[in-house]
Amino acid sequence: MADGGPNIDLEEDEPRPWDLSTRLSRRQLLWETAAVLCLAVLPAWIYGLGSLIWPDSVVPSFWEDFWYSLASSIQVCAPVLYFIGRSGERWSDFGLARPRWVLDSLGGIAVWMVKLVLIASLIRMLDTLLDRDQIEALTALRDCPFSVPHSAAQWAALVVFIAASAFAEELVMRGYLIRRFEQLLHSTWLSVLITTVLFAGYHCYQGPGGVVDAAASGFVYAVAFCLFRRLWPVVIAHTLHNLAAYL
């Protein structure tokens, strides 16, 4: 069959993701995808690169960080959800099927664990190819100031804004962009690769280690999404990953 990808074992009469109906022409798909990249991806890249050039030494208060992160997530989600709603396609085509809380939660934990295993395996492989100084340089994390929650209310708020941020990033990268790139490029693997690079790139403010970690995470999340076509497990895995940074 043409094109390899996580869904290459579909039966001959089953539609590929890019064969599913859409009212949009190719030109409309291009313009819409470009708009999402400009609204939801480019600002994060600019912020990441800007943080490398002009490091921020001021640690915001917890609630400043909370409201900024929540507003950013809403700003990212709103246009993407609007474009999905007006496309005439099913919400489930973008992974937004009705949640199955038990199965999606178990799936999210499984995806998170696969990501941890992949990172550990990657580090072990690098250990056989590079010397210690090279490994430390490649996995170095840049010191990024952030506020730590201290009260029960702040811990509860932390879960909310981390989950909102994870949902926003997964909605854009996996739910929306993978489908649109599949429709434009007719390749699932190429769509996975492009979104993985985009996802890793706007974590450059975390240093080389952050980029490597984001690339591994983005690849696992993308493959998991393409296998199951459900956004909720990867959102849960992403939330667990980000929460672990605070523990």
Judged against a pLDDT cut of 90, whether residue 217 lies above it is answered with yes
Q: Could you state, in order of their start, the residue ranges of all structural domains in the chain?
A: 25-51+61-78+100-244
Contact predicate 106/175, CB 8 Å: no
Least confident of 13-17, 63-67, 107-111, 232-236: 13-17
Judged against a pLDDT cut of 70, whether residue 133 lies above it is answered with yes
The whole-number pLDDT of residue 83 equals 95
CA distances from 132 to 124, 143, 209, 210 (A): 12, 20, 14, 18
pLDDT band at 106 (very low <50, low <70, confident <90, very high): very high
Token code pair at residue 128:
């056989």
DSSP one-letter code for 98: P
* Rounded percentage of the chain residues whose pLDDT exceeds 90: 60
Judged against a pLDDT cut of 60, whether residue 10 lies above it is answered with no
Q: What is the pTM of this model?
A: 0.87
pLDDT per position as a tens digit, 165-204: 999 999 999 999 999 999 999 999 999 999 999 999 888 7
Q: How many alpha carbons fall within 13 Å on the CB side of residue 211? A: 16
Least confident of 7-11, 63-67, 112-116, 223-227: 7-11
